[in-house]
A and B are shown apart, each in its own frame.
Chain A
Amino acid sequence: MADLVVSAKEGLLCVPGDFYIDPWLPVERAVITHAHADHARAGHAHYLTAAPGAAVLKSRLGEISLEALPYGKKIVHNGVTISLHPAGHVLGSAQVRLEWHGEVWVVSGDYKLDPDGTCAPFEPVVCDAFITESTFGLPIYRWEAQQKIFDDIRHWWRRNAEEGRASVLFCYAFGKAQRLLNGIDSVVGPIICHGAVSELNRIYRESGVWLPPTLSVSDVSNKGDFSKALIIAPPAAAGSPWLRRFADYSDGFASGWMLLRGARRRRAVDRGFVLSDHADWPGLMRAIKATGATRVIVTHGHVDIMVRWLREIGLDASGFSTEYGTDEDDNVAMNEAVAFKESHA
């Protein structure tokens, strides 16, 4: 049987269904795994996405023709049965399950295995072929428990507050920011969010995700309060005039890339907190195994390396070249580019 999904110039194409998954060029029908900018692009005629992600997608892309599908519910298009399953990456992120003539393919989008309080946890979906991301597809990437990272951040925040310094934590505005808020809570002092973060907080709250109370800078009349505050800002705010108001502050960056000393030093922040919304190496391996798939196609990240490894352990593996993040071996360079696009990690 011919492949159910191929890599076309517009994006990943479901051939019999005649629709695309996370296409990077404008197409007629697009299934969107999640609303990060490199997966959800403007210009398609019709969008399909998981129901919990609809609000974010609309807020990012404006007026679009959008069908929102609850997790697990099946629809049929051109004979292909489509259903969406939680990917645990950000609010509304989904794996796309495609079934045609008894064969099942799953496109993972971006995913993370460990549950957090801000989105539905990853659900393994049994399939014949699994198309997986590989952002952190190297054995060096092995995350510590998120609780430990939240503790580290609270500890850093408390120490700064005691020394009369504001704590500025950079992270991606969509997904990571809310996961941090949900996990850290306002135990030490007030939490102030950059405008880019506040907008997404609103959507998360409206979707029923609990977040601690947050303020915007204009809510703070007494500048002295800044010194006890945790400020959540996107990486693009680094070095901007917006930060000057906080005078003396310590800064941190929360991202999976912070595992490596080189990346931490390049970022030139006081603290790097290793927290990622992607699967680490053991997570990728566990996820692949859980699908039971004998065929694995690797996209964005360390494609060549993962493919070679999966072949060595006996799977039929190959790679797709995509325009998510960037390709191949340039993980850290990608970090630089993507940080400003506010997307991965």
Chain B
Amino acid sequence: MKTLSIALASLVLSANAFAHTTFIGTVKGTGVPCSLEIEQTYFENNIETPANFRAEIAVSLVDGDDHGHGEGNHDDHFDFTISPSGKPNMFSGVAANKTDLINILVAPGTAGLSAPTAFSMKWIHGNHYHTAQCLNLKLAAHE
């Protein structure tokens, strides 16, 4: 029982440990900075299993400030709710508009989103889709 409690506590702990954490990478093909910020992590219905892991994240393909939110003429800031994709080392998510999609690769053997390495995104821009990949994610220097 004690072991189970510790295990559950560590799962919860690991789930929340990387909330409000920012990772910085570069856009594939252009080298422009991009970022992923983990805003919140939780478990669906409070059932703490890997399958129920959820995270609210914000990504940006233009790193305009310390918090990784985009700048520019139009909104480069994207919010997603992500969950395990069913594929190894990969999470995926949908934006609130039900159209924009994201996949996040994590380092093998790591828990949750503690070590994302890259994300791939497809989003609607006006009336057409764009895709991009943000690679070589590393913990932001100030984290």
Answer whether A and B are interacting partners. Answer: no
**Which A residues contact B (CB, under 8 angstroms)?**
none
